[in-house]
Homo-oligomer: A and B are copies of this chain.
Amino acid sequence: MKPEGDRAIGVALLGCGTVGREVLRLLTEQAGELEARVGAPVRLAGIAVRRPHRHPDVPQELLTTEASELVARDDVDVVVEVIGGIEPARSLLLRALRAGRGVVTANKALLAEQGADLFAAADASSADLYFEAAVAGAIPLLRPLRESLAGDRISRVTGIVNGTTNFILSAMDSSGAGYAETLDEASRLGYAEADPSADVDGYDAASKAAILASLAFHTRVTSADVHREGITEVNSADVVAARELGRTVKLLAICERIREPDGAGGVAESVSARVYPAMIPLSHPLASVGGAYNAVFVEADAAGALMFYGQGAGGAPTASAVLGDLVAVARNRVAGGHGPRESAYADLPLRTMGETPTSYHVSLDVADRPGVLAQVAQVFAEHGVSISVVRQTARDSEDAPGDAILVIVTHVAPDAALRSTVDKLAGLDAVREVLSVMRVEGEVS
């Protein structure tokens, strides 16, 4: 639907929290620039909130509690959703799309869980559905993935996409403190929510991994398809062990295209999407991404390695991404067209975590006597896991006389084989304690 003549582009804003207020501010302060960039004035038609009395600073005539009416109003061209959560956001956006309205949303959980319904509704009415703000806040990422790299083949996307957990891991790395203590500190400083589960258990990162994998591999991936481990089990021994190996611990969202011989002379492709803490080399571009920053490292066949870095959360950065999308959708409406559609044409099979090739770092506290290394190495061999590096050092302390620390980094093997190997090692007589087990990523293989 093209607005008639010089008609303004009408915008409905759903939600007026931290991000919504910033969207409102930018819409107001940059009205002139937005008009120049869109080719028509951009006019706020209404703001749907639950409790209007909580928004005394907002022009009162714009406020409404009737979101469902607002999204289909005749003077609304684009609906901007910054409510978050599944309902009522889902129903409102489906209604908006069915009515032919363009939609801009920052709602990662909704896209990762129910994206298929939204994309189908957008397709059916040729409406735009843009969501740059849903992954890594202000960092332009979705547009590069789905447009700039459209002529290339992406092999891997590795992201630090959750600021809270990156803040905690960075702080553990620089202070040497443990997880619980650092989480408390993060909460005090406002970097962690009162209930930090969505962040520290990896749910937030898993939603983003689902969205990134879908775009990168043209395959529908939902958050339920993403293998997820959080950072609550990361301890200071892991962080120290990483340092000693020239590595650092990061919570990574990994989306990978796995290529293997298909047994008939061809190549079989599958997709793995997973979130877990892992050790990466200090020389890896992601290693220096500290504090609450986000960054996404992309590997493509022709482009090589790319990295995108910036603020992954916060009102203003998220609003910047929302406004960028709003300009694009508004421009498309002025031109009478729409942007590129979501595509899932490749429809690659998803890989379970057990079948996914990974490599492990294992630190063991072992008895310092001959034959122990042979015994440990035998366990790896039995599971078909080949060892890349072994380092044994005597642990000469009063607490642990006659002990040694054995550090092993494996070559790549199916995750299930590695997991079984570690279970078996823990039961060996010679192994006094498994000090640290963590996956290793980002090595040059």
Interface residues of chain A, those whose CB is within 8 Å of chain B, are 22, 26, 30, 33-34, 36-37, 132, 138-140, 143-144, 147-153, 218, 285, 288, 300-311, 314, 316-317, 319-328, 331, 335-338, 340, 343, 345-346
Option from B26, B132, B311 in Cβ contact (under 8 Å) with A148: B132
Point out the residues of chain B lying under 8 angstroms from A132, CB to CB: 148
Instruction: A149 to B33: give the CA distance in the assembly, Å.
Output: 12
Option from B36, B151, B321 in Cβ contact (under 8 Å) with A324: B151
Rounded to whole Å, the gap between the CB of A135 and the closest CB of chain B is 12
Sorted nearest first, the 3 A-B pairs with minimum C-beta distance are A151-B323, A140-B148, A140-B144
Option from B22, B36, B305 in Cβ contact (under 8 Å) with A343: B36
Point out the residues of chain B lying under 8 angstroms from A310, CB to CB: 303-307
Point out the residues of chain B lying under 8 angstroms from A37, CB to CB: 150-151, 218, 343
One complex includes copies of this chain to the number of 2
Instruction: A101 to B338: give the CA distance in the assembly, Å.
Output: 21
Closest to A305 in B: B310
Closest to A151 in B: B323
Option from B34, B144, B152, B301 in Cβ contact (under 8 Å) with A144: B144
Given contacts A143-B147, A324-B147, contact A340 B331 (CB under 8 A): yes
* A151:B34 contact, CB within 8 angstroms: yes
Point out the residues of chain B lying under 8 angstroms from A327, CB to CB: 147, 150-151
* A317:B338 contact, CB within 8 angstroms: no
Closest to A319 in B: B302
Closest to A152 in B: B320
Option from B301, B303, B311 in Cβ contact (under 8 Å) with A303: B311
* B153:A30 contact, CB within 8 angstroms: yes
* A140:B306 contact, CB within 8 angstroms: yes
* A320:B151 contact, CB within 8 angstroms: yes
Option from B33, B152, B218, B323 in Cβ contact (under 8 Å) with A36: B218
Instruction: A310 to B143: give the CA distance in the assembly, Å.
Output: 16
Point out the residues of chain B lying under 8 angstroms from A311, CB to CB: 303-306
Rounded to whole Å, the gap between the CB of A297 and the closest CB of chain B is 9
* B322:A303 contact, CB within 8 angstroms: no
Closest to A27 in B: B151
Closest to A338 in B: B335
* A151:B302 contact, CB within 8 angstroms: no
Point out the residues of chain B lying under 8 angstroms from A325, CB to CB: 151
* A308:B305 contact, CB within 8 angstroms: no
Point out the residues of chain B lying under 8 angstroms from A336, CB to CB: 337
Closest to A295 in B: B307
Closest to A142 in B: B148
* A300:B320 contact, CB within 8 angstroms: yes
Point out the residues of chain B lying under 8 angstroms from A148, CB to CB: 132, 140, 143, 321, 324
Closest to A36 in B: B345
Point out the residues of chain B lying under 8 angstroms from A36, CB to CB: 218, 343, 345-346
Instruction: A288 to B148: give the CA distance in the assembly, Å.
Output: 25
Instruction: A288 to B33: give the CA distance in the assembly, Å.
Output: 35
